[in-house]
C-alpha cells in the first residue's frame, strides 16, 4: 500500500476539539524523538519545526491547528503506510502528508513560528546537523 492508495485529505481532516487535544498530546510527546530520526530524510525540516510551533500556538485558527496536528500525528505515529524504519523510503509517505498539509495552510506559519523553530533547532544541534536546509 502506498500513500497514493490513501486519500491524504482524509488523513488531514482537522477533527473535533477532543481529537485535536489527543493529537496535540501525542505530538508534544513524540515530535522531537521522531524529528531526530527523520531530519536527514525530510527536505523541509525547518518548515516542519515551524509547523509544529504553529500547531501548538493557540492563536492559530482551529481548522489550521487541526490540519497540522493531523499531519504531525501521522508523522510521529510508529505505524503508518510505509514503516519509518525502512531506510530512505520510510519517511516518504510522511513527507507527502506533511507537504500537503503545509500547502493547505500556507500563510499561517508566521515569523514567530520560524523564530521559535530556529531557537529550538539551536537547542537541538544533533537535529540541526542532520537537516537538509530549506530554501
Q: What is the pLDDT of residue 91?
A: 63
The pLDDT assigned to 69 comes to: 96
What residue has cell string 515551524? Answer: 50
Asked, for residue 99, whether it belongs to a domain, the answer is yes
The answer to whether residue 43 is domain-embedded is yes
* 3-state class (DSSP) for residue 31: helix
**Using the 8-state DSSP alphabet, how is residue 91 labeled?**
G
On whether residue 135 sits in a domain, the answer given is no
- With respect to residue 126, please indicate whether it lies within any of the assigned structural domains: yes
Q: What's the pTM?
A: 0.81
Query: Contact, 1 vs 81, CB < 8 A?
Result: yes
Residue 124: predicted pLDDT = 84
Of 80, 98, 79, the C-alpha closest to 41 is 98
Give every residue of the chain whose pLDDT is below 50, as ranges: 1-5, 80-89, 133-135
Residue 105 included in any domain: yes
Domain that residue 42 falls in = 3-130
Q: Phi first, then psi: what are they for 84, rounded to 5°? A: -70, -15
**Predicted pLDDT at 106:** 87
Residue 93 and residue 80 in contact, taking contact as beta carbons nearer than 8 Å = yes
**pLDDT score at 85:** 45
Could you report how far apart the first and last alpha carbons of the chain are, in Å?
A: 31
Amino acid at each position: 500500500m502506498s500513500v497514493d492508495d490513501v486519500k491524504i485529505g482524509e488523513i488531514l481532516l482537522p477533527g473535533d476539539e477532543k481529537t485535536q487535544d489527543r493529537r496535540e498530546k501525542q505530538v508534544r510527546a513524540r515530535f522531537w524523538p521522531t524529528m531526530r530520526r527523520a531530519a536527514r530524510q525530510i527536505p523541509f525540516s525547518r518548515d516542519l519545526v515551524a509547523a509544529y510551533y504553529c500547531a501548538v500556538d493557540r492563536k492559530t485558527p482551529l481548522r489550521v491547528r487541526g490540519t497540522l496536528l493531523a499531519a504531525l500525528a501521522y508523522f510521529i505515529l510508529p505505524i503508518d503506510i510505509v514503516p519509518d524504519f525502512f531506510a530512505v523510503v520510510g519517511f516518504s509517505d510522511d513527507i507527502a502528508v506533511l507537504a500537503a498539509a503545509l500547502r493547505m495552510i500556507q500563510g499561517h506559519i508566521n515569523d514567530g513560528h520560524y523564530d521559535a523553530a530556529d531557537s529550538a533547532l539551536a537547542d537541538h544541534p544533533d537535529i540541526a546537523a542532520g537537516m537538509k536546509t530549506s530554501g
